[in-house]
A and B are shown apart, each in its own frame.
Chain A
Amino acid sequence: MRELCEQAVAAALGAGASYADARAVLRRSQVVGTRNERVERLDDAESEGLGVRVLVDGAWGFACDRRLSAEGARAAAEKACAFARAAPGGHRRDLAHVEPAQAEFRTPFERDPFAVSLADKVEHCLRAERALKHDDVKVTAASVRAQREHKVFVSSDGAAIEQELVECGGGIDAMATRGDITQIRSYPSAHGGSSSQGGWEVVDALGLEREAPRVGEQAAALLQADPCPSGVMTLVIDAEQMELQVHESVGHPTELDRIYGTEAAYAGTSFLKPGDLGSLRYGSEHMNITADPTTPGGLGTFGFDDEGVPAAREAIVKEGILQGFLTSRETAAKIGSGSGGSMRADNWSRMPLVRMTNLHLEPGEGSLEELIEGAGDGVLIETNKSWSIDDKRLNFQFGTQIAWEITGGKLGRMLRDATYTGQTPVFWGSLDAVAGKEEWVLHGLTNCGKGQPGQHAHVSHGTSPARFRNVQVGFKA
């Protein structure tokens, strides 16, 4: 694969590129899903190919070819150059300097997930499903997944990097229905569970079967619960929902390509400006956000990003002040700071984009119980159910699967259909406590969408439960 990438880069330079990089990727993935104790998905997919990115006279070009052959490499390189030449830019594009690396990186794991038979994966799901059973639960579902991506990156700067990333995950859902009310509970996350880099030990550690009875019982209990009241109140958010809160209201707005408008037509832009760096108050002093592609187990963990920039931990928000952006070599050069490090592509047939890697809310102090005690009156919410945020990442609304009333610092009755809404910097400004590292959990999601043509990124967020004051809970219609 390295030789093919070198051939592609050489062909691109020969066709007039001033810069070129090539990525050859072999990806294998398995998904096993069961629903009401029948196998719903039993898929084993493999995909391979090579993508070539070029700069010709200041214009980008990208083309790919599924054939891992000299012919495919040359064809992709020449087409990428031709496309770039046909769509000239108005000015030069500079790339921040990065020392060209000759390196390897591999996800450490204990048990190869592809050595675990599909039959064992099916049985893993079915056992978890059986444990979800409850009289009012109409639908039970379980899934496990595994992916291995072997990729080689070569650039005209002299980089040659080989990486093998392995990840696994799973989740369970129980859906209860009575009359006109339908409720869902999920574990460890909604929308397909949670994943981490690592081997099959990741799935074993989730304990799907162990957690299933609680999940099934809560789904059924929600049918009897009162709707969450509306009003401005103190909100305690569990670690799982905080994952999405960080993702949507900190991760995406700090992507520097969005700030420069390159996602305007689809995913949107950002309320941030390049000049906000180092001065904008994003939230309260309790807010500390870090981008860290070196986090063990993170879905955004790598040795090098898809521009060959080495993984490095970086502060994004420190004590509430904006300190960093997620960048590419091109956007880093624009602000004259850093050398990128957040460029990632979805497989071989897509151009790298600025993406989140692992973006964490750093832990504070104390336990979830102490957050609740300090809340006085309010609501504790858990597990995402719906999510939406505006194109500049200011106005958001989230719904969660379950909530509990907090009265006098004590948890009270269970509540259903909770939602909350806010404006990003106002909301983060109302953060008054983050629980400690004992409560800090790493979640991984695989459905982060961006780009045209669309790309899915796999990213992780480490979060602890957090407490916010004066939050609008429910709709304001």
Chain B
Amino acid sequence: MTETLELAARALQAAEGDDALAFVHRERSGMARFAGSEVHQPTLIENESVELQIVRDGRLGVAAGNRTDDQGLRTLAARAAEAADSAPADPDFAGLAPPSDPPRVEGYDEETAALSAEDQAHLAAAAIDASDLDLYGFFTSGVTDLALASTTGLEASQSMTDAAVLALAAVDGASGYAEQTGWRLADIDPAAASERAVEKANRTRGAVELEPGSYRAVLEPPAFAELLTYFAYDAFGALGLIEERSYAYGRIGEKVFDERFSLADDSLDPRGLPKSFDFEGTPRQRVELVEDGVLRDVVWDRTSAKRAGDGRKTTGHAPPSSLRHWGPLAFSLSVAGGEVASTDELAEAVGDGIYVTRLHYLSIVNPRDGVITGMTRDGTFKIEGGKMTEPLVNLRFTVTVPELLAELPGLTRDPVLINASAYYDERYPQGTLAPAVATARFDVTGSGSGPGV
């Protein structure tokens, strides 16, 4: 039995209720964050916390804490019990998950787990040393241990590693961006990311403005992944569907996107950041969200499946308690690759339009229609005659995502893992597998600042 499972079992012993579930999270991570080619925010984190869910008379209470000695667990159990006693019975409560056999997944790498603070600092230095422009970003790696045990017989644990480098090469009037993420250090080359960022930055000098309008566009994987992540918050979760407020409501089974577009949520894929079970303890499943342009399904957890009441089953997408108001979430998006080898070929398919490296500060304007606004940054260019030409200032876009996905002249063949973690709260590695894409419609609604710092 792992240490984290033992802790979950001890927490369960402290619980007094009809049923109980203990979820243990342990983190050991380091981040060497740099700016102007100097590490300025180096952060080492070690934490271990327990969330205890107690069911009494059909009512659920939750308490969390990071004091894991016996007294701390007794206090935790008393607070969870008080919470349960304070809630009215919930007719939609589906009970705790039954025993299951979560799939064995990859996602743990000894070399990554063994990285010390000194190693993390040296890997950051490798990125910095490879740049002849000022470099901004970070190198980070961490180990996340999860364990879950319940009185219903659940017992599961998983250890995950992750590592990422973010490189923004920037000076006054020029900036370029690159990133790499994975669960194996061997997949990360900080110097290569840095060199790519520099190469991109050097092409952004002398950026010009662009008239608002509808343009054909190429989106690199970081831009496409972030746009899909925001769209998925509402569009691909069961709660928005049940409440009749998401884009998916009334459209399941319809062909609403280009037939080249297929999207799944797949936590099991070893190319991503694999996860075995969700926050209810249910084994994770791959869910086909869009197949050949047809909207197929959304993701479910036990609560939403019971509320739907039509024989629905959980797909293993329960969020952590702190995000329960969002409902089940598709946080392991995976876009099927296309038939194009490179972004150069996508630019050829676009002909005249714009090229977007990265997005900034997205916001959902209208979830029912899938309208999202944001800015481009760190590598926006014109495409003229099928070639990337002069650099552009950062552009304000306001796109209706289904319109953007309605006509896709091409996607690159090999999806790339894009980091979706901002490392708020407790570490839980997340990423999106996305190719670069060409779209026939990207709506520019204004111009902002130029590239650079």
- A residues with CB within 8 A of B: 31, 33, 35, 38-49, 59-66, 79-80, 82-84, 86-87, 89-90, 117-119, 121-122, 126, 138-139, 141, 175, 177, 180-182, 260-266, 268-269, 271, 349-351, 353, 385-392, 394-395, 397, 399, 417, 419, 421, 423, 449, 451-456, 475-477
Contacts and interface: CB of A to CB of B under 8 A. Distances in A.
Contacts of B84: 42
A49 B68 CA distance: 12
A351 B43 contact: yes
B453 to A, nearest CB: 5
14 contacts: A35-B325, A39-B87, A62-B43, A64-B45, A83-B120, A261-B36, A264-B175, A266-B422, A349-B47, A351-B41, A388-B396, A423-B448, A452-B33, A453-B43
Given A62-B41, A66-B48, A181-B368, A391 B449 contact: yes
B94 interface: no
A262 B377 contact: no
Nearest to A456: B424
Interface stretch (B56-64, B257-265, B407-415): B56-64
B444 A477 contact: yes
Nearest to B88: A39
B423 A391 contact: no
Nearest to B394: A390
B125 interface: yes
Interface string B16-46: 0000000000000111111111111111111
B206 interface: no
Nearest to A267: B361
Contact of A64 (B46, B365, B427): B46
Contacts, number: 282
Contact of B38 (A42, A89, A118): A89
Contacts of B80: 44
Interface string B72-93: 0001100110111111101110
A180 B371 CA distance: 13
A139 B64 CA distance: 28
- Nearest 9 interchain pairs by C-beta: A395-B448, A453-B423, A454-B424, A118-B86, A390-B448, A86-B121, A87-B39, A392-B449, A87-B121
A43 B361 contact: no
B276 interface: no
Nearest to A93: B40
B391 interface: no
Contacts of B453: 261, 264, 269
A456 B84 CA distance: 28
A268 B358 CA distance: 13
B49 interface: yes
B374 A86 contact: no
B22 to A, nearest CB: 15
Interface of B: 29-49, 59-67, 75-76, 79-80, 82-88, 90-92, 117-118, 120-122, 124-125, 134, 136-138, 140, 166, 168, 170, 175, 212-214, 243-245, 321-322, 324-325, 360-369, 373-375, 377, 394, 396, 398, 422-425, 427, 443-449, 453
Contact of A475 (B42, B47, B137, B445): B445
A263 B170 CA distance: 12
A353 B35 CA distance: 14
Contacts of A181: 368
Contacts of B65: 45-47
Nearest to A417: B366
Given A38-B90, A62-B41, A391-B375, A45 B365 contact: no
A66 B63 CA distance: 17
Contacts of B43: 62-64, 350-351, 453
Contacts of A476: 212, 445-446
B362 A83 contact: no
A316 to B, nearest CB: 21
Given A63-B45, A63-B117, A80-B44, 8 more contacts: A40-B324, A43-B64, A66-B48, A79-B44, A90-B38, A138-B245, A268-B361, A390-B360
Given A79-B44, A390-B360, A47 B66 contact: yes
A89 B121 CA distance: 11
Nearest to A119: B86
A397 B244 contact: no
A417 B371 CA distance: 11
B41 A451 contact: yes
Given A41-B321, A421-B396, A175 B45 contact: no
B42 A42 contact: no
Contact of A395 (B213, B325, B394): B394
B363 A44 contact: no
Contacts of B49: 47
A66 B66 contact: yes
Contacts of A449: 422, 424
Contacts of A86: 117-118, 120-122
A181 to B, nearest CB: 7
B116 to A, nearest CB: 8
Nearest to A399: B365
A264 B90 contact: no
Given A35-B325, A122-B87, A42 B39 contact: no
A5 to B, nearest CB: 18
Contact of B445 (A33, A122, A421): A421
Given A60-B42, A83-B42, A87-B121, A395 B87 contact: no
Contacts of A475: 212, 398, 443, 445
A271 B448 CA distance: 11
B42 A62 contact: yes
Contacts of A266: 422
B448 A394 contact: yes
A181 B84 CA distance: 37
B87 A42 contact: yes
Contacts of A394: 448-449
B137 A265 contact: yes
Contacts of A35: 325
A38 B394 contact: no
B124 A44 contact: no
B166 A265 contact: yes
A260 B41 CA distance: 14
A177 B445 contact: no
Contacts of A83: 30, 32, 42, 44, 117-118, 120-121
A182 B396 contact: no
A476 B90 CA distance: 47
A421 B449 CA distance: 14
Nearest to A181: B368
B325 A41 contact: yes
Contacts of B322: 31, 43
A59 B42 CA distance: 9
A41 B140 CA distance: 32
Contact of A391 (B32, B38, B166, B394): B394
A243 to B, nearest CB: 16
A70 B368 CA distance: 54
Given A181-B368, A262-B40, A87 B124 contact: yes
B53 to A, nearest CB: 10
Contacts of A261: 35-36, 134, 136, 170, 453
Given A395-B446, A421-B396, A454 B121 contact: no
A260 B172 CA distance: 12
Contacts of A45: 63-65
B312 to A, nearest CB: 18
A9 to B, nearest CB: 17
Contacts of A268: 360-361, 377
A265 B138 contact: yes
Given A392-B448, A394-B448, A397-B396, A43 B83 contact: yes
A12 B452 CA distance: 37
